[in-house]
Chains A and B, each alone.
Chain A
Amino acid sequence: GQNIDQPTEMTATEGAIVQINCTYQTSGFNGLFWYQQHAGEAPTFLSYNVLDGLEEKGRFSSFLSRSKGYSYLLLKELQMKDSASYLCAVGGRGDYKLSFGAGTTVTVRA
């Protein structure tokens, strides 16, 4: 089975940094994905990690430790438009399916 945990909500100030943690216990692993979803819209792809370490992409970075079943998404220089739900998803092995966490709602305040 799949068990993916992430915090429900986080609040931060514009210009600050926020780190969203995700822990997972899955029967197979073929990569960890982060998606951003604004209210009423479909998710958009942010990042993909399959090897341990940090992947940086502009203001967003994602980290993976496979041995610990742990990932985080780091959002730097927060902007109001970053207010959204962030979904952690784990890819299975060979079947292309993703198992999603419940999502973390990030609210950026001025």
Chain B
Amino acid sequence: GAVVSQHPSRVICKSGTSVKIECRSLDFQATTMFWYRQFPKQSLMLMATSNEGSKATYEQGVEKDKFLINHASLTLSTLTVTSAHPEDSSFYICSASDGAPKETQYFGPGTRLLVL
């Protein structure tokens, strides 16, 4: 149980284009999903918390107009990197929480984004 999928696993795009990443909880309903980015040999950096049916909460320093998050249902959240630039190249990972009492986060397999 507690499987989270993420699509695509890898994407290469040109600078200035937008990229959409999907995150799905396959066998449980996740009222809360999280989006992280990770640079090589560094830990996870939380970008935003996504709640179904409401606006995402962004961490300090994360541009909400650049990283659009939509939590359309209890099993799907999307992250759109708008007007991507080479500095946006990173490993993007989503997670879904199974709620109370443990609030364990289960991670998707990640999306490696390379902006040329």
| A48 cross-chain contacts in B, Cβ below 8 A | 102, 104
- Is A102 engaged at the interface, CB distance under 8 Å to the other chain? yes
Give B7 Cβ to nearest chain A Cβ, in Å.
13
B42, B93, B99, B105 — most chain A CB neighbours (10 Å): B105
What CA separation (Å) do A83 and B6 show in the bound complex? 24
Give B53 Cβ to nearest chain A Cβ, in Å.
16
What CA separation (Å) do A44 and B106 show in the bound complex? 7
A96 B106 Cβ-Cβ under 8 A: no
| A101 cross-chain contacts in B, Cβ below 8 A | 43
With A42-B93, A96-B97 given, is the CB distance from A102 to B42 under 8 Å?
A: yes
What CA separation (Å) do A65 and B47 show in the bound complex? 29
**Could you say which interface size class chain A belongs to?**
20 to 34
Contact indicator per residue, chain A 39-73, by CB within 8 Å of chain B (1) or not (0): 01111110010100000000000000000000000
A102 B43 Cβ-Cβ under 8 A: yes
A residues 52-110 touching B (CB-CB < 8 Å): 87, 91, 95-98, 100-103
| A87 cross-chain contacts in B, Cβ below 8 A | 43-44
A96 B107 Cβ-Cβ under 8 A: no
| B32 cross-chain contacts in A, Cβ below 8 A | 96
What CA separation (Å) do A35 and B107 show in the bound complex? 10
Give A101 Cβ to nearest chain B Cβ, in Å.
7
B108 A30 Cβ-Cβ under 8 A: no
A residues 1-49 touching B (CB-CB < 8 Å): 30-31, 33, 35, 40-45, 48
A42 B49 Cβ-Cβ under 8 A: no
What CA separation (Å) do A95 and B44 show in the bound complex? 18
- Is B103 engaged at the interface, CB distance under 8 Å to the other chain? yes
What CA separation (Å) do A45 and B49 show in the bound complex? 19
| A95 cross-chain contacts in B, Cβ below 8 A | 49
Q: A33-B104, A40-B112, A42-B107 are in contact. List 5 more A-B contacts (CB 8 A).
A: A43-B44, A43-B93, A45-B2, A45-B107, A97-B34
